[in-house]
Amino acid sequence: MPTLRALFVAPLLLALLGLGATPLPEESFPTPAMSHLSRFVAGGGAPTAALLARRASTAPYDTFRSTGPGIRRADRFRAGSVTKTFVAAVVLQLAGEGRLRLSDPVDRLLPGLIRGNGNDGRRITLRALLDHTSGLNDYTADASARPLSAADAVRVALSHRPTGAPGHYAYANTNYVVLGLVVRRVTGHDYATEIRRRIINPLRLTGTSLPGARTTLPSPHGRGFTRDPADGTLRDVTALDPRGAGAAGELISTLDDLDRFYTALLGGEILRPAELAAMLDTTATHGVYGLGVYPQRLSCGLTVWGHNGHITGSRVRTAATRDGRHVLTYRVDTDALADAEALETALLDAEFCARAPTVRAP
């Protein structure tokens, strides 16, 4: 799994990422992953946690489970870096339409934007932005900066030397902020408009939005918490200014919508075969990251695809089989989750490596 830097990590902004079968009633068929969910609270320190698993097969299921009343299936939440998959899908659609090429240097579309301090947009391609091999510094790593626009974020990144030469994998939120500017240059519309037009509206993702400068979550929603470094107590950070995340992580969504999105994406509803193949190509990163998605190999040998999101007050992860017919999204209402990777891996192993539930005749 790639090392993903959370958006809005303190002190930055004091906080700052159908299925083909009729779904069965939620919680009809308990799955092995459900028993792991409580560990996010008991071991990870999250106030509450929830998951939604879907499988289209001879034994289809659609199962929601939560650890308490403070987190519901219909809740809107901040999805953090899951935004990157949406942005990547738009860029790949534009490539499929011939409006840009992944081999285009950034400077061809955004002349002079990336220049100075060892950074050079003439040597960085759009593909390198998509798979984090650009070498650009991650603007969220600068603890002294509080950028509230894409231009601000780029300036912060360019105040630092590159993290490595182009071609070296280094996850950086700056890459997707720049891609948001690319979308505007190519289409004449901001990335949020293009995501709504190309993905949210066609898939009817009614709980998904890009808030811009809106600091509150749409209803219904729960709360979001972060841990105060001074005394370790959880602090409510439900309301925050998402502009610093932008195209790297401002998305708001729901469990149902994220399951639906990744099912459609991997099932070929959003991208044509050539563009989907490009998205899943991890050659440049030696198997670590594709274009807006990453693979994770589980203990049983199965590889799942998706992305995680880690933003103030929220941690999210969606993973799906290559065909999109088995997908799980979980979320917790805090970014301060102890042993997060171990808990997540155990959850995914339990869901994807166990046998599907058996349907009993009524």
Burial 87-126 (b: 16+ CB within 10 A, else e): bbbbbbbbbbeeebebeebbbbbbeebbeeeebbbebbbb
Name the burial class of residue 236, with classes exposed (0-12), middle (13-18) and buried (19+) by CB atoms within 10 angstroms of its CB. exposed
| Distance of alpha carbon 334 from alpha carbon 43, whole angstroms | 14
Burial 158-181 (b: 16+ CB within 10 A, else e): bebebbeeeeebbbbbbbbbbbbb
Ramachandran quadrant class, 133 (left: phi over 0; alpha: psi -120 to 50; beta: rest):
alpha
| Distance of alpha carbon 222 from alpha carbon 362, whole angstroms | 36
Burial 254-291 (b: 16+ CB within 10 A, else e): bbbbbbbbbbbbbbebbbeeebbebbbebebbeebbbb
Quick one: CA torsion of 265, 270, 273, 276, rounded to 10 degrees?
A: -50
| Distance of alpha carbon 171 from alpha carbon 249, whole angstroms | 13
Tokens of 59: 């034994």
Is 299 a known active-site residue? no
Q: Identity (one letter) of the amino acid at 63?
A: T
By DSSP bridging, strand 234-236 and strand 225-227 are antiparallel
Going 126 to 127 to 131 to 132, the CA torsion angle's sign is: negative
Ramachandran quadrant class, 14 (left: phi over 0; alpha: psi -120 to 50; beta: rest):
left
Which element (helix H / strand E) includes 316? strand 314-320
SS3 136: coil
β-bridge mates for residue 273, sequence order: none
User: Which of the following is catalytic: 28, 35, 66, 81?
Assistant: 81
Question: Residues with catalytic annotation?
Answer: 81
